[in-house]
Amino acid sequence: MNLKKAILAALCVGLAATMALTAGCSSEKKNSKVLKVGMECAYAPYNWSQPNDANGAVKIAGSNEYANGYDVMIAKKLAQAVHADLEIHKMEWDGLAPAVMSGKIDAAIAGMSITAKRKESVDFTQPYFYASVVALVRKDTPQSNVTDIVGLQGAVATSQLNTIWYDLIDQIPDVRKLPAIDNVPGMIVALTSGKCNLVVTDIPTAKAACAANPTLKYIDFEPTKGFKTKQEDVEIGIALKKGNKELKDEMNKVLDKMTPKDFEALMDEAIKVQPLAKK
3-state secondary structure of 50: strand
3-state secondary structure of 161: coil
3-state secondary structure of 155: coil
Task: Check: CB of residue 172 under 8 Å from CB of residue 153.
Answer: yes
Output the pTM of the full model: 0.78
The pLDDT tens digits along the chain (279 residues) read 555 555 445 444 444 444 444 444 444 445 479 999 999 999 899 999 999 999 999 999 999 999 999 999 999 999 999 999 999 999 999 999 999 999 999 999 999 999 999 999 999 999 999 999 999 999 999 999 999 999 999 999 999 998 999 999 999 999 999 999 998 899 999 999 999 999 999 999 999 999 989 999 999 999 899 999 988 889 999 999 999 999 999 999 999 999 999 999 999 999 999 876 444
Task: Check: CB of residue 100 under 8 Å from CB of residue 239.
Answer: yes
- If residue 147 lies in a helix (H) or strand (E), which one and from where to where? none
Task: Check: CB of residue 98 under 8 Å from CB of residue 106.
Answer: no
Beta bridge partners of 39: 90
